[in-house]
Amino acid sequence: MSLAASPSPHPVDGRCPAGEDPAKRRQILEGARRAFVRMGFDAASMNDVTRESGVSKSTLYVYFRSKEELFAALIDQERDRYFSEVEALLVETEHPADTLTRFGTRLAEIVLCAEAMHAKRTVIAVASRMPQLGRDFYRHGPQRGHALLTAYLDRACEARTLRIEDTAMAAAQFIELATAGLLRRRFFDDQAPDPTPDEIRQVVASGVRLFMAGYGVEA
């Protein structure tokens, strides 16, 4: 068979293949984000997304087949950014109180921000009719974050700077401590003010003190 008959896997004119232009994909996702925030996930339609993103409907469907796909892609985008940050924070084990303070502060900032709260409320609202979306949100988000923190606590125990029998349980406890008194208020009251940096620092500092009192190793 002639090699000349095989199509080239790369575009020869510098253009991306259909559905693979990163800039166009970002443009669509930003339009979807605006539509979902302004109108709500259920009320927003694919037509609304085309208007917000400034693309044709045919272009939109080349990239995303449904608004559920769009929503999942938006979550993935934010999740990747979040995990790249927190993985870099969970490294130093010599002084776990400092590491946990930095991690807990960033965790609270991300989890409590308006966009994250909107995403969580949306997932909960649609989970009964789209259970896979809820499962994926949990497995690739909270469950993955819990696993990262558990692995860090394991390393700190190996370094003998923490003493924990059940690191998975301790990781879950710390995540709750880092947002104690703030997350539920944000969940149930969409008019609750954003927590201030001082509020977050106070909650995290108190959580770290309690955590270290239970699991720290005395000098």
User: So what's the architecture of 75-215 in CATH?
Assistant: Orthogonal Bundle (1.10)
pLDDT of residue 178: 96
How far is the CA of 95 from the CAs of 27, 101, 216, in angstroms?
42, 10, 10
Burial 66-87 (b: 16+ CB within 10 A, else e): ebeebbbebbeebbeebeeebe
Sequence spans of domains, the chain: 19-65, 75-215
- Please, what are the averages of pLDDT over each run of 10 residues along the chain (219 residues)? 40 55 89 84 88 91 88 81 85 96 94 84 83 85 93 97 98 97 87 91 97 87
Q: Check: CATH 3.30.2020.30 for 19-65?
A: no
How far, in Å, CA of 34 to CA of 52, rounded?
7
Residue 130: strand, helix, or coil: coil
pLDDT of residue 19: 62
pLDDT of residue 6: 39
75-215 shares the fold of 19-65 = no
pLDDT of residue 15: 53
pLDDT of residue 16: 56
